[in-house]
Amino acid sequence: MPGRHTVRLDGSSLTLHDFERVVRGEAAVILGDEARRNIAASRKVVEESLREGKVVYGVTTGFGTFSEVAIAPDQVRQLQRNLLLSHAAGVGDSLPEPVVRGMILLRANSLARGYSGVRLEVIEALLALLEHRLYPVVPAQGSLGASGDLAPLAHVALALIGEGEVLRDGHRLPAARALAEAGLRPLELEAKEGLALINGTQLMTALGAGVVVGADRLSRVADVAAAMSCEALRGTTVSYSERFAYVRPHPGHARAASNLRRLLDGSGLTSRPGEIRVQDPYVLRCAPQVHGASKDALAHARGVVERELNAVTDNPLVFPKEGLILSGGNFHGQPLALALDYLAIALAEWASISERRVERLVNPQLSGLPAFLVETGGLHSGFMLAQYTAAALVSENKVLCHPASVDSIPTSANQEDHVSMGAIAARKATAVLANAERVLAIELLCAAQGLDHRGVDRAAPAIRVAHAVIREHVARLRADRMLSPDIEAVAGLVRTGRLLEAVEEVTGGLEP
């Protein structure tokens, strides 16, 4: 693709922004010169250990509980191949292509740091999959987040040796055939390389990075939706004063309140205290506190994921300067598991308070608007079932927010006797994000309809823009019609960032 951005991997400087570009297929990936030197240095240590006949886990021994079994020099290559085949035990639906792209990118970046002892050819083979758009078929289930994401990464690595299946242009075909048609040769793995390919946190990190990127957008869209609902419900802006955050200095609260003030600047629909009601309900009055707490959770999760993007997570690790190969536990997914469970809860809370604002919008006893936001109620049901859907999604999120990280089932004959379940936490957080996007889409639809009744020309400039973007894709509801397409259309505006981009052109930006 001419003019594509290029991401240069060095194992230390990959950003969420570059990650997102690669998983969207908007960037090419190359290996930096310093990374090449570091890779060669670490490989030299492995080869010296082999020549000297040292006992090194996963190099001259078996794996897991078989770590006490010595492997003869002439069996080293077979050991690495067997490892990939035996560990490709995933089940369930295949991971989406963007997630697989993310896994390949992150595995290559981790190996490029120069602490894994693989040859340069291994990383180049991974990058060739991205370059030729060959994406291994990877079942979503099977990782415990113990020695990392063993099963999913084994399915990725199989493609490098011409085993398993890949997707090319949406078509599923044998990896050996796909490599041949792309002019690529299957890789013959040397000592340690199979282990280095599958011992890591790249599934949970790829999923987690996607959730963080989506949550970053959602956190700001939640403020847009709250501001739009505030106008439709004739709320006040007093509780969004910076004075409250000054005396209770949580940074997320301050950012949410600042966003709400920017969004409602110039509004002719908000009211003064006592004009309509003395105090707004919590879903409006406490929006900075509730949204802000989730923003703080997002900030924590973002920090964890950003560190993991450039982490070395296999075992054993090679330290070239000291000439050491050390066994440790960097593959353990606990840091991500905890952070992603926390992020799932934060996402669920944005959806939870949003659904309660939807209820106020459709309930005439609470809103002062027509029942279910339709003029001829009775004959038409309006947005009645939209609130049902929002409630169902919020309820589902409550189930999904049960933490995965508190569970552990020992494996490998009790060698791996505490596991993180980080991949499950990541998959759950991904599902909660999708549900939250749809709940906020429902609130935006209802709030836009409320503004149609109030008079959108009196709304704040930023909110008028948000309303206009929604109306470009969804017409005002005057008579009953299928609501599913409307909800999905606005959820798409949330997910892609199109709604947010239009609003931020007016506000000069919003803070996640």
Strands (E), 360-484: none
CB atoms within 10 A of CB 4: 11
Catalytic residue among 57, 135, 240, 342: 57
Q: Tell me the three state secondary structure of residue 171.
A: strand
246 is catalytic: no
Number of H helices, E strands in the chain: 20, 9
**Helix (H) or strand (E) segment spanning residue 326:** strand 324-326
Tell me how far apart the alpha carbons of residues 485 and 117 are, in angstroms, rounded to a whole number: 51
CB atoms within 10 A of CB 57: 18
Backbone phi and psi for residue 136, each to the nearest 5 degrees, phi listed first:
-55, 145
Task: Please list, in sequence order, all residues whose beta carbon lies within 8 angstroms of the beta carbon of residue 128, skipping any fewer than 6 positions away.
Answer: 134, 182, 184
Work out the burial of residue 332: count CB atoms within 10 Å of its CB; fewer than 13 is exposed, 13-18 middle, 19 or more buried: buried
SS (H, E, C) 249-282: CCHHHHHHHHHHHHHHCCCCCCCCCCCCCCCCCH
CB contact at 8 A, 316 and 325: yes
CB contact at 8 A, 314 and 58: no
| Tokens describing residue 204 | 């949970």
Q: Among residues 495, 500, 449, 501, which one has the least CA distance to residue 475?
A: 449
Residue recorded with tokens 């070395």: 312
Q: Among residues 193, 176, 198, which one has the least CA distance to residue 80?
A: 193
CB contact at 8 A, 427 and 90: no
Dmax over Cα atoms in the chain, in whole Å? 86
Active-site annotation, residues: 57
